[in-house]
Amino acid sequence: MSRPARGAEAGAWPRAAALLIRQALEESLDQYWQSRGLALDQCSARAQFICLAEYAEPESAAAVSSAWSALSRACHHHVYELPPTAAELKGWLDVVEHWHSTLDT
């Protein structure tokens, strides 16, 4: 029987999950700009989210921007910060999935 991960390994999977969710969000944002014929995918993610508030539904843009900021913080290990919880990851994933569903319509 293996023991649960301790130390540095214990926080690896939540940060890895946060990174994958953030990458999915960034890729969908690139697709969003391409579908509108705008070359904003060459700008920084922060600049894209500022512009998103002008192009997308304000409520959705704010939720996606907030999720991206939280995911970015969660991707980086800070000595005195806990990794994201499963509930936080689920919440961010829900926001990204909702964003994806709005792109399909």
Q: Which residue range forms the structural domain that includes residue 38?
A: 13-104
On whether residue 5 sits in a domain, the answer given is: no
On whether residue 2 sits in a domain, the answer given is: no
> How many CA atoms within 13 Å lie on the side-chain side of 97?
6
Task: Please choose, from the candidates 36, 3, 14, the residue with its C-alpha nearest in 3D space to the C-alpha of residue 85.
Answer: 14
Round to the nearest angstrom and report the end-to-end CA distance of the chain: 48
CA distance 98 to 48: 18
Residues 6+ apart with CB under 8 A from 32: 52, 56, 103
Question: Given this model, what pLDDT does residue 79 score?
Answer: 80
pTM as predicted:
0.84
Mean pLDDT split into 10-residue runs, the chain, 105 residues: 55 90 94 91 89 91 95 87 92 94 76
On whether residue 67 sits in a domain, the answer given is: yes
* Overall number of domains in the chain: 1
On whether residue 4 sits in a domain, the answer given is: no
